[in-house]
Structure 1
């Protein structure tokens, strides 16, 4: 039996859109695939194994070779800087990284505090602006930080802007656009080049067809 190609996938919105993309690329994923609560799912007829992980962990699994390939947001790639090949922009889960805060408030001129789950990205961005800031690492509910006086600004993902709006925050600066990327372990790419290249080609074909429709 051929060893399956192991794919690390993030739970949530990216997972749902990536599964749809794989189906459109003619990979036989069963209808109940999205409803499974398993963390490792084998699809024998497609010779695929899926590892379901937190978004920030996907590049780690791929870098260490427990997954051959993975699907990760560009935000995670910028933050984690893992030793993997980024081979294809899937153009799914489109959003952007932004700076946000309470309206009509200025940054502390001495040492503004920035709350974020992207400390590396935030530090690099403010350095590029010639600003020295104090980074406060949070793992969730980032929007809370300005409301309780923990931080002057936040750096976070913005999709529709609804969460910011509902919490009385406004976007002040856009950092960069974000989409999900297909990433590959360098060793796996040498050992399983044929099957990985086939997957990239099939996904790329679907992406191109979608762009033509748009």
Structure 2
């Protein structure tokens, strides 16, 4: 019985495929330039397909994939009814509030926040009782405070070099982010014999 993976496109997929190779699966027909949509390992035990990161949870929740690998930020922003079983410790970074060093949170006025993650931003500022106006930004969010569009931003920070080069700093760390292994709830029951060894292999190298 073949186990199907949904992988988030980009750096997560690259690292996830490397992990799959490390735990013993070989995908001879995969290259980054390939136009194929589904790639199967040489034994036929597993196969994977690539989708945009917000869609990984949907494919797994609805059963189109048995297992998914996606960042925790995506699961927070786009919750899915799945089992989150492992922290794979890849793509490690932090979700942060960032802006100019002299930015002050003023509880008597709304803070204008630019972000790609409105759900996470809203939840965080609600938790500290800070009223905000959210501005959804799909591109380089660092531009928002620089051009006066927002007071601060909520975004993923890896090295912090982009912030530093543009005169910005981390004002508050919200949470740690890394890629997680998620599993469809029904698949874990009816395909447990096939899925558990895969989880065990991932667990052994994710420590």
**Would you say same fold, with TM above 0.5?**
yes
Contact 1:107–1:152 at 8 Å: present in 2 too? no
Structure 1 position 136, deviation (Å): 1.6
Structure 2, unmatched stretches of 5+, are none
Q: Find the aligned partners of 2:114 and 2:139 in 1 and give their Cα distance.
A: 10
The 1-side partners of 2:99 and 2:80 are apart by 30
Q: Relative to 1, partners in 2 of residues 1:159 and 1:31: Cα closer, same or farther, differing over 3 Å?
A: farther
Query: Would you say 1:27 and 2:20 are equivalent positions?
Result: no
Equivalent residue number for residue 188 of structure 1: 187
TM-score (norm 2): 0.91
Name the structure 1 match of 2:161: 162
Change (3 A) 1:38 1:144: farther
Counterpart in 2 of 1:47? Answer: 45
- Mapped partners of 1:37, 1:94: distance in 2: 29
Structure 2 equivalent of residue 58 of structure 1: 56
**Correspondence for 2:77:** 79
1:10 pairs, out of 4, 8, 11, with: 8
Change (3 A) 1:51 1:116: same
Q: Number of residue pairs matched?
A: 206
1:103 aligns with 2:101: yes
Instruction: Return the offset for 1:159.
Output: 0.5
Name the one with the larger helix percent.
1
TM-score normalised over the length of structure 1: 0.89
Counterparts of 1:33 and 1:195, CA distance in 2:
26
What's the RMSD between the two structures over aligned residues? 1.8
Change (3 A) 1:154 1:188: same
d(CA) in 2 for partners of 1:62, 1:27: 21
> CA contact under 8 A between 2:8 and 2:51: conserved in structure 1?
yes
Describe the shift of the 1:146–1:38 C-alpha distance in structure 2 as closer, same or farther (beyond 3 A): farther
